[in-house]
Structure 1
Amino acid sequence: MGTFLTILLILAMVATVGALVRGIVIFLRTTEADLNGTGPSISGRKQNKAMQMRILFQAVAVILVVLLMVAAGGKG
């Protein structure tokens, strides 16, 4: 069980870093034209989506860490 949770944790961490990098790349590609306008731009929406995914992956990683700690505490 611990090995499975560890693999899931690693996958969640990789997904978190991937979403973070994607959000940063989208942010860096934002042009002045994207900033001048009314309402949220397409770039802004993409940035928000990438950061929401990052937060989701981080939450999953934290939950997996807690489960691993509970599983390790039960063996002691």
Structure 2
Amino acid sequence: MITVLTILVGLAMLATLGVLLAGVLGMSGGKDGSRRSNLLMRWRIGLQFLALALFVILLSLTRH
């Protein structure tokens, strides 16, 4: 179970990084990306929350 949670935390962190990079690249693209940038920011916040929640669960399971 701990191994699965560790992998899920890593995947959530990588997904957050990917959405963050897509948002930064989209913002540098020009004027038409404001709606897309806002959507990506919402996704990034959700993925950050997921990563932190999984990390807290992982920490609570590994502490004795």
TM-score range, shorter chain: over 0.9
Number of residue equivalences: 64
2:3 is matched with 3
What CA distance in whole angstroms lies between the structure 1 residues aligned with 2:33 and 2:24?
A: 11
Q: Distance in 1 between matches of 2:43 and 2:35?
A: 12
Q: What is the TM-score with the length of structure 1 in the denominator?
A: 0.80
* CA-to-aligned-CA distance 1:32-59 (integer Å, 9 cap, x gap): xx3xxxxxxx411000011111111100
Larger-Rg structure: 1
Flag as ranges the 4+ runs of structure 1 deviating above 2 A: none
More helix by share: 2
Partner of 2:20: 20
Identity, % of aligned pairs? 38
With the length of structure 2 as denominator, give the TM-score of the two structures: 0.94
